[in-house]
Amino acid sequence: MSIDITMPALSPTMEEGNLTKWLVKEGDTVSAGDVVAEIETDKATMEVEAVDEGVVAKIMVPEGSEGVKVNAVIAVLAEEDEDPSSVSGPSKAKAAPTETKAEAPAESEEKPQAPQPAPAATASPAKSQPAASGERIFASPLARRVAEQKGVDLASLSGSGPHGRIVVADVESAQPGAAAATSGKAATTQSTASAAAPMADDAVLALFEEGSYESKPHDGMRKVIAERLTQSAQTVPSYFVTMECRLDALLALRSQMNAAAPQDGDGKPTYKISVNDFIVKAMALALKAVPTANVSWTSTDRIYHKHADVGVAVAVEDGLFTPIVRRAEEKTLSTISAEVKDMAKRARDRKLKPDEYQGGCTAVSNLGMFGVKEFTSIINPPHASIVSIGAGEKRPVVDNNGALAVGTVMAATFAFDHRCIDGALGAELAAAFKGLIENPMSMLV
């Protein structure tokens, strides 16, 4: 009996993914555990492994397909005693999942191109018939935009893309006929503009001169970032507290610790602690010192955390990850440094596992390396706080003896969810953080 390979759920919230690359082809023999494909979720590229051994008899979803539903059959394996040529679809012993809609690679084209041929081992999809009146039209976003510009009615076209989807090449080869209405009302009906958008998509594009811009469809990461931060800005009543922290003692201790770092076999230091590592540790210890601020909000309860799981904002190409340092209050600075460096590298390579960037109770966002003096961040639920770190600057300061001196000062701006952290409590946490930063030896005890 044939064996189905399905789209896996790589996180608790995942509903669909993009099949970016096949690492096998029809006719290949695979063993259990072999990596057969790469799947892109909203924030990461993950590998799909074969669950059993067999011969790849049928690839059901072509490479480059987007929006493939979780549990949809993406390929079928023939068992050892089974003729691969006899396999034409998913195993009858397993209920076929909801049919998925494969996206055409043409969505991300910068200019119209000829339709791309299907992989050699995959049967080419039949060209669809024109949609009947009132029937849903499946077309790529780029095809929709080009059709609107050319005055082509999508309902009159037959799609040559996967599953009969209309791609830009179908529009380019069509003659302008009964144009789809280009009024704001009709265009809004065709578009999938976000309910939170202040203007319909076509109204925004109408403000710019044709040919003066390039349109790039949102990828999964950008969609999730937009949805979550919009939700946070609209639903979380935030307030902000800024503390100025003197860094001179921290910078001196950091230099001493890095100078004392043991060396590996190549003569390189085994660790190099950054100012940001101290900040992560200070935030964790501040939450330990003020445990009533180590909290998350739900509609029915306040969740008090037993440990400080601190997220660290990492910029990646056209996006953002927040990998989590778990139990940061228990870890040494060198351990935090190694973890952050490792997760930051894997974040930029889109190789983080979902459980490495989901959850947590607070976060650190540091733009000091860009020379930013002070800024505020949007809280990322389920967090109830986030601290935004500015650049350390040389300023006139008054020392403990009342004398004027030059010191290095950093602005730390906290955002708090007022539903579970009131003003006095937020100020207490900020003060605890400041005390740790200005007396860094206390972080080594």
Catalytic member of 163, 305, 307, 418: 418
d(CA 58, CA 78) in angstroms, rounded, equals 9
**3-state SS track over the chain:** CCEEEECCCCCCCCCEEEEEEECCCCCCEECCCCEEEEEECCCCEEEEECCCCEEEEEECCCCCEEEEECCCEEEEEECCCCCHHHCCCCCCCCCCCCCCCCCCHHHHCCCCCCCCCCCCCCCCCCCCCCCCCCCCCCECHHHHHHHHHHCCCHHHCCCCCHHHCECHHHHHCCCCCCCCCCCHHHHHHHCCCCCCCCCCHHHHHCCCCCCCCCCCCCCHHHHHHHHHHHHHHHHCCEEEEEEEEECHHHHHHHHHHHHCCCECCCCCECCCCCHHHHHHHHHHHHHHHCHHHCEEECCCCEEECCCCCEEECEEECCEEECCEECCHHHCCHHHHHHHHHHHHHHHHCCCCCHHHHCCCCEEEEECHHHCCCCCCCCCCCCCCEEEEECCCEEEEEECCCCCEEEEEEEEEEEEEECCCCCHHHHHHHHHHHHHHHHCHHHHCC
CB 420 within 8 A of CB 427: no
Total number of residues shown for the chain: 445
CB 361 within 8 A of CB 294: yes
CB 426 within 8 A of CB 415: no
Asked if 305 is an active-site residue, the reply is no
Q: What are phi and psi of 286, to 5 degrees?
A: -65, -40
d(CA 39, CA 255) in angstroms, rounded, equals 43
The residues annotated as belonging to the active site are: 418
